[in-house]
Amino acid sequence: MRAYLYHDTSEDPRRPHECTPSVVVGEAELNRVGVLYWHCSGPNALDQVNAIARDRHYQNRDEITITPEKLPNYEARIKQFFQEHIHEDEEIRYILEGAGYFDIRDHQDRWVRIQVTAGDLLVLPAGIYHRFTLDTGNYIRTMRLFKDEPKWEAIPRPSANSNTYRTQYLAQFIPSA
Ligand SMILES: CSCCC(=O)/C(O)=C/O
Ligand SMILES: [Fe+2]
The pairing of strands 60-66 and 140-146 is antiparallel
* ipTM associated with this complex: 0.97
Query: Over the stretch 81-119, which tens digit does the pLDDT of each residue have?
Result: 999 999 999 999 999 999 999 999 999 999 999 999 999
- Sorted by where each begins, the domain ranges of the chain are 2-173
Residue nearest to atom 5 of ligand 1 (CA): 81
Under the banding of pLDDT at 50, 70 and 90, the label for residue 134 is: very high
The Å distance, Cα 23 to ligand 2 centre, comes to: 24
Look at the alpha carbons of 133, 55, 128, 106 in this order and tell me if their dihedral is positive or negative.
negative
27 annotated to a ligand binding site: no
* CATH 2.60.120.10 is the classification of domain 2-173: yes
Closest by CA position to 19, among listed 82, 111, 84, 99:
111
Task: Tell me: pLDDT of 177 over 90.
Answer: no
Q: Considering every ligand atom shown, identify the ligand nearest to the alpha carbon of residue 95 and give its number.
A: 1
3-class secondary structure for 21-75?
CCCECCHHHHHHCCCEEEECCCCCHHHHHHHHHHHCCCCEEEEEEECCCCCCCHH
Our answer on whether the CB atom of 90 is closer than 6 Å to any ligand 1 atom is: no
3-state secondary structure of 89: coil
How does pLDDT run across 36-95, given as a tens digit for each residue?
Answer: 999 999 999 999 999 999 999 999 999 999 999 999 999 999 999 999 999 999 999 999
CB 25 within 8 A of CB 105: no
135-167 pLDDT, tens digit per residue, is 999 999 999 999 999 999 999 999 999 999 999
Rounded to 5°, angle at Cα 54 from 37 and 125: 40
In this prediction, residue 64 carries a pLDDT of: 98
